[in-house]
Amino acid sequence: MSASLNAAVATTATTATATVDPACAEPLAVLGRDVTVPLVTGGEVTYAALDYAASAPALQRVWDDVAAYAPYYGSVHRGAGYLSQLSTDLFEQSRVTVAEFLDCRPTDQVVFTRSTTDSLNLLAAVLPADCQVFVFETEHHASLLPWVDAHVTYLNAPRTPAEAVATLEGALADRDPHGPALVCVTGASNVTGELWPVKELAAAAHAHGARIVLDAAQLAPHHPVSVQELDVDWVAFSGHKLYAPFGSGVLAGRADWLQQAQPYLAGGGASRKVARREDGGVDVEWHTTAARHEAGSPNVIGVYSIASACKALTEAGFDHLVARERHLIAKVREGLAEVPAVRILSLFGDDAPRVGVISFVVDGWNSSHFAAALSAEYGIGVRDGLFCAHPLVRTLLGSEPQAQGECGAPEAAPGERSLNAIRVSFGAGTPDEHVERFVRAVKELVADGAKWQYRTEEGRCVPAV
């Protein structure tokens, strides 16, 4: 933005990046940190939001930036008025900010979408004809399912990072070497939190003439993501997991497949010129920029919130954020290790590097019952179910592939065994007290049982009234 436009919506300043002991460091300020919730046992408690992997709370910095811009909100790209020009400038500057956050190549495009799911469906829609797609069964459904119109090879869950690379190399070696190919892989599992060997997988893909897209939905909020360092062709992520609400996402990467395909959505914004033909039809010239796949009025507030979050995380310093998160991960894992009834789910083993996402089961407990008790009796919000990664969770639980179950909707009643798990997840806004309360609650529930009665209602376990 120009200096005058920057001044119009300027808000807060920079966060210090000095070296701090992670045990003493303050979490980043997020909305909802002071919200209190009622307990079924009486009284209220400050809510412990430990479901970051689903949707992270908005950073206060993001909220302040959006609030400062909101009075200047206007239509984008085609308005002559001052607010339209300001909004257009802010929208396009947000594209630059995201490209810098991801360390994109100069020729890459940043396309704004609704979510990671939308981004990967967009990429699936622009694949060249006869494209072969290779995807591990361990992926979130957002990156497992969009490739229905391509020839898909589903790869078995690896048990080490080296096995993941070897499995991919073997599958790529057997493919038709003359056609296009794409590998889709997560950067950090939304079930186990484990980091995947993205750079090595990218090298394997490129060695066999394939391209690779990184699902960074769980990686980008926790670790720096460099398109150039990892050498991936595309990156997809969601704003709502990056502390930026309002329903926006990003697909960033190589422009050629995007430019060569028909627009993801046909309509205003995607079209550069439309003219009637003598036969009564229309001729359309589509944009070759990112606008080609951004038809309709864009979500300016959502896009700006992503850019604000990118700036806030960069200014806070990922070295600092990663160190603090490792401190929290150690607290949770060490606390759960003291409870013999708890089994943490893992593909790569205890020593694998990971982000703040941990899934587990408790012997003798239905997972929905356990999560309901954490919420109702301790004010702790976690997630239970299959986390929209059914094949992976089934593999980790050792159940049959055909076993039934809905995403986050266990069917078993309290006290019955469930083929589901419990997930606790946290990040830059999580105070130590939240994870400490969580560990205490797990120990108390396992030792003493729930203090309240629960029942199944519409597939969910809820407190009985």
Burial grade of 252 (CB within 10 A; 0-12, 13-18, 19 or more): buried
- Catalytic positions: 388
| Diameter over CA atoms, the chain | 80
By three-state DSSP, how is residue 212 classified? strand
Of 318, 210, 298, 207, which Cα lies nearest the Cα of 250? 298
Q: How far apart are CA 78 and CA 261, in angstroms?
A: 24
Tokens of 139: 């992926």
Output the CA–CA distances (angstroms, integers) from residue 253 to 197, 235, 256, 296, 422, in the order listed: 19, 6, 9, 22, 34
- Please say whether the beta carbons of 12 and 65 come within 8 A: yes
Q: How far apart are CA 143 and CA 147, in angstroms?
A: 8
- Please say whether the beta carbons of 318 and 355 come within 8 A: no
Q: Which string of b and e fits 270-289 if b means at least 16 CB within 10 Å?
A: bbeeeeeeeeeeeeeebbeb
